[in-house]
Amino acid sequence: MKYQVGTIGKVIVAKFEDGENVLENLIQIIKKENIPAAAFYLVGGMREGKFVVGPETESFPPIPMWRELGESHEVIGFGTIFYQGDKPKVHLHGAFGKGDSVKVGCLREKAETFLVLEAVILELSGINAMREFDPASGMSLLKIP
């Protein structure tokens, strides 16, 4: 295990409007506010989203199982943002519910707001962790120096 100790820096509250891309807006905020590392919470609605619900089998490298929302869902999520090279990379896990159906997974693409989605972003100060592509797993993994 590797870890670092830091502090909470800036706290940002953002409201994404209907039709806005959640992942792109998170990245835009991180760049604009010059935040090297962050954790964030999401709550609200999404109408589009493509996410991974686990590997097809326990083989290595994992083959992701994809799901899509395709219509409005309630969402609650938690994620981190660390740079991979010169670009912020979002890692977000969320629960997506509609009626009695709930899906849980790692949101990766097509993240479109339905009506409104709120984000609380916490800057992680004093942390110099980053994402690095791991060819063995085919994933961008957290690297803590």
Domains of the chain (ranges; CATH) run 7-143 (3.30.1330.80)
| pLDDT above 90: residue 6 | yes
- The pLDDT value recorded for residue 48 is 94
- The pLDDT value recorded for residue 71 is 95
- Across the chain, mean pLDDT equals 96
- Residues 6 or more apart in contact with residue 85 via CB below 8 angstroms: none
Query: What backbone phi and psi angles, to 5 degrees, belong to 25?
Result: -70, -40
- The pLDDT value recorded for residue 59 is 87
Please tell me whether residue 26 adopts helix, strand or coil conformation.
helix
Q: CB neighbours (10 Å) of residue 49?
A: 26
Q: For the segment 53-105, what is each residue's pLDDT rounded down to a tens digit?
A: 999 999 888 999 999 998 999 999 999 999 999 999 999 999 999 999 999 99
- Average pLDDT over every residue of 39-60: 95
User: For the purposes of burial, counting CB atoms within 10 Å of the CB of 123, is it exposed (0-12), middle (13-18) or buried (19 or more)?
Assistant: buried
- The pLDDT value recorded for residue 135 is 92
Token pair for 65: 């199982």
- The pLDDT value recorded for residue 60 is 86
Q: Please name the residue ranges forming H helices in the chain.
A: 22-32
Residues in the chain: 145
Q: What is the pTM of this model?
A: 0.94
Query: What backbone phi and psi angles, to 5 degrees, belong to 81?
Result: -135, 120
| pLDDT above 90: residue 3 | yes
